[in-house]
Amino acid sequence: MSEHSEQAALIACVDLNAGRHPALRNVFAIPNGGARHKAVAGKIRAEGARPGVPDLCLAWPAHGWHGLYIELKVGRNKPSAAQIDWLARLEAAGYRAVVCRGWQAAWREIAWYLDIAPRQGAALAARDRHAADGDGAALAEIAGEVGGG
C-alpha cells in the first residue's frame, strides 16, 4: 500500500470510531508533502508549510502530553532528517511525536494514547480485510463492534 492509502485507511478507522470516542474528532492531516506544481509549492511555503512536519496530529491532551503527532511510513521508507528534527522538537515542547509503520500501528498508537480498549485491534484488522474487498456490509458490522461494550 502507498502512504496515501495507509493514511486514508487510518482516517477511515478514526472516522468510524469518532462517535464513541469524541477526541478522535480532533485528528487531522497536515498536507505538507507530495508532488505539487512549483507555483503551488511556493504559495504553500509562503503560507507556512515546513519540511518535515509530521503527517497527522491529534489535538487532545493525554498522559501528560499536549497532543499526539504521527509520522506515517510504509515499507522501508525512513524518516528524513527534517522529520526526525521535527519529532524531537515536538517531544521537547511536550507533545508525543512518533513514527508509525502502517495504518494499524498508527491506530494502535492513537488507541493507546486515548485509552481505547485494546480488543478493538482484531475488529480493525477485519475491517482492513473487508475494506480491501469493498464489503460495505462487513464494514458496517465491524464499525458496530469497534468501541462497543
pLDDT by residue for the chain (149 residues), tens only, comes to 899 999 999 999 999 999 999 999 999 999 876 666 778 777 877 887 888 999 999 999 999 999 999 999 999 999 999 999 999 999 999 999 999 999 999 999 999 999 998 655 545 555 554 454 454 443 344 344 443 33
Strand partners of residue 1: none
Q: What does the pLDDT read at residue 128?
A: 52
Q: What does the pLDDT read at residue 49?
A: 81
Residues 6+ apart with CB under 8 A from 105: none
Q: Report which of 96, 108, 86, 87 is spatially closest to residue 65, judged by C-alpha positions.
A: 96
Cell of residue 36, nine digits = 505539487
- Backbone phi, then psi, for 71, in 5-degree steps? -100, 115
Q: What does the pLDDT read at residue 144?
A: 42
- What domains are defined for the chain? 3-145 (3.40.1350.10)
Q: What does the pLDDT read at residue 37?
A: 73
pTM: 0.77
Where helices occur in 18-119 by DSSP H, the ranges are: 38-46, 81-92, 102-113
